Structure 1
Amino acid sequence: MDDSSAPGRSRTYDRVLLKISGEALMGDQSYGLNPPTVARIAREVQSVHELGVEICMVIGGGNIFRGLQGSAQGMERTTADYMGMLATVMNALAMQSALEALDIYTRVISAIPMDQICEPYIRRRAVRHLEKKRVCIFAAGTGNPYFTTDTAATLRANEMRCQAIFKGTKVDGVYDKDPTKFEDAKRYDRVTYDEVLQKNLGVMDASAIALARDNRLPIVVFSLDEPGGFRGILAGQGTYTTVHA
């Protein structure tokens, strides 16, 4: 079956949000930031920026601190989540540095005010940055505990009127089970929001999927480890899964 009519296939995007995990910045390390890996991802963003696409980013903080893990070890959940938000700011600053080394104007915009190092989140100002072809990296989640960066990404994508969320992962789409553990794992070309929720496919947390569904915002899941994969999808090429209505 030709899937050229699939949502996200062979269409033009003017504004997208790229969501990546903090772990994606670790490279081969078990913790923290790996500068060559950050630089490689920045080049992937650059390749899409050169197409004239307006790009937002949300980066998780799990490479530095994950609120749920801290809570599980006895830390008060709200405090742990705020620490996780601060980790996302650190990752955003690292990505900003890598993008600006490529001469791409970038703004880190935080849901928690910290004026000396980044801008506070003001929707109209962020939209204006995008219109000026600046990459906007949204940090500190939603600014509230108990919400993941997946939910923050979906919220910001809707507020910025993005045409899709691109979720970069270690695998080339959504599978019915972990393809790194099961050789018979089946990859979906297309899957609905409801199927993701019913089958617990682990694309994003349930709140993020529900928010995307309610606003009919497609989610494109692809491998961030595939060189040129981000740009290729925008050209209607490559292997990925689209989550849609």
Structure 2
Amino acid sequence: MATEVRFKRVLLKVSGEALMGAQGFGIDVAVADRIARDIQSARKLGVDISIVVGGGNIFRGVAVASKGGDRVTGDQMGMLATVINALALRTSLTKIGIDAVVLSAIPMPEICESFSQLVALAHAEKGRVVIFAGGTGNPFFTTDSAAALRAAEMGVDALFKGTQVDGIYSADPKTHPDATRYERLTHDEVLNKGLAVMDVAAVALARENRIPIVVFSIHEEGGFAAILSGGGRATVVSD
């Protein structure tokens, strides 16, 4: 008998920093493989999964702007970094027998397919894990915004944000041990309290499309499937 799950179709946001692991830069293949196994466990529950991947382990456009460089060019470089990460994650998934495809918001047909909603939905209907790269394809938008946008386009039941901690806190628990951890919040509470789990545009877009945001630790092995099964540890943002 199949396990009853909380959400049947989800989008998982994986940050570039998560793929970096304990390294100072780049991709830790062991971490990518572990995340792939977590995705595999979730798929065995019957959950359809798509992914948006960040690029902060390789390059951040805002870092260029902060040093007087051109923000548009910097963001474009950051978008290319997400493609590298998406290809790495696809490799980790295919190694364990999961059919996965990378769709980029920036056309590069020699490397991966270009994004369109219809193509993405067609791949999902065939049971593939769809990995979205290239952010939104536009500068000045974060990959969190890309995650909320793709979540809306895919019609998911929830947006899972894998972070460095096990939910949303009133402040960074690593530097503020007395920070309050929240079990449940509304989208408006996240915005009004200025909680920095996702950027304002991403939270607002999720709110407008009535998409719950589930914030959990990407580093807890098995945590993704546990939350989908009704357990685990996470903060749920929902109206």
Choose from 104, 110, 113 the match for 2:107. Answer: 113
- Count of residue pairs the alignment pairs up: 236
Q: Distance in 2 between matches of 1:158 and 1:96?
A: 22
Aligned to 1:123: 117
Which aligned pairs between 1:200-239 and structure 2 lie closer than 5 A? Answer: 200-239=194-233
- Provide the secondary structure at the position in 1 that maps to 2:22: coil
Q: If the length of structure 1 is used for normalisation, what is the TM-score? A: 0.94
Q: Deviations over 1:202-239 (max 9, x none)?
A: 11000001101111110000011111100000110011
Structure 2 unmatched ranges of 5 or more: none
Aligned to 1:3: none
Q: Does 1:66 align with 2:67?
A: no
Do 1:52 and 1:133's aligned partners in 2 also have CA atoms closer than 8 Å?
no
Identity of aligned residues (%): 56
What amino acid is the match of 2:10?
Answer: V
Q: Distance in 2 between matches of 1:194 and 1:236?
A: 24
What amino acid is the match of 1:184?
Answer: D
Do 1:17 and 1:166's aligned partners in 2 also have CA atoms closer than 8 Å?
yes
- Alpha-carbon distance, 1:244 to partner: 1.1
Q: Does 1:140 align with 2:139?
A: no
Q: Kindly report structure 1 stretches of 4+ aligned residues shifted beyond 4 Å.
A: none
- Alpha-carbon distance, 1:181 to partner: 1.3
Aligned to 2:169: 175
Structure 1 unmatched ranges of 5 or more: 1-9
- Alpha-carbon distance, 1:11 to partner: 5.0
Aligned to 1:6: none
- Alpha-carbon distance, 1:45 to partner: 0.7
Q: If the length of structure 2 is used for normalisation, what is the TM-score? A: 0.97
Q: Distance in 1 between matches of 2:156 and 2:33?
A: 24
- Alpha-carbon distance, 1:106 to partner: 0.4
Do 1:64 and 1:87's aligned partners in 2 also have CA atoms closer than 8 Å?
yes
